[in-house]
Amino acid sequence: RTAAERADRPDRLPEDARLLVADVLADHLAASGLPPAARLKTLLTDPALAERHLGGGRIREAMRRTYRAFVTSDSARASYRALLTELGTPGAGPLLFHCTAGKDRTGWAATVVLALLGADETVVREEYLGVNPAVRQAF
């Protein structure tokens, strides 16, 4: 999650847990000014604010830029590399990874992991889209 998201809602860790911060969007937010997912809920509660930031196709273009940044920005590549390195470390133990909404950054991470583990495209797609009802309810 971004620094602002972590400040707004800090992680609560079990006593023996180790925190690994992987800010996928650090470079992208600095370059694009896109509001982080943590602000999406606020934006959607105010129709005028939502229209100003998201209307007129701006949300589609913003999400396209964001998803592209998952594979092109230095911070995203470093973050996903850290996740995959941690997953591949013998004896590292269980790993919980998350973002704010649980769909975009986390969804891409889960997609990459499932693909590396050999899941077929149907399973990967079902898993990725499977969070849509919960995300809709949350927002």
The amino acid occupying position 21 is: V
Spatial separation of the C-alpha atoms in residues 96 and 130, rounded to whole Å: 18
Task: Report which of residues 64 and 118 the model is more confident about.
Answer: 118
Catalytic annotation, residues:
99
Kindly report, residue by residue over 21-35, the tens digit of the pLDDT.
999 989 877 665 555
Helical ranges in 33-92 per DSSP H: 37-45, 47-54, 58-72, 74-87
Residue count of the chain = 139
pLDDT-based confidence at 5, cuts 50/70/90? confident
Spatial separation of the C-alpha atoms in residues 25 and 121, rounded to whole Å: 26
For the chain, the domains span: 3-10+21-138
Q: Determine which helix (DSSP H) or strand (DSSP E) holds 113, and give its type and residue range.
A: helix 105-116
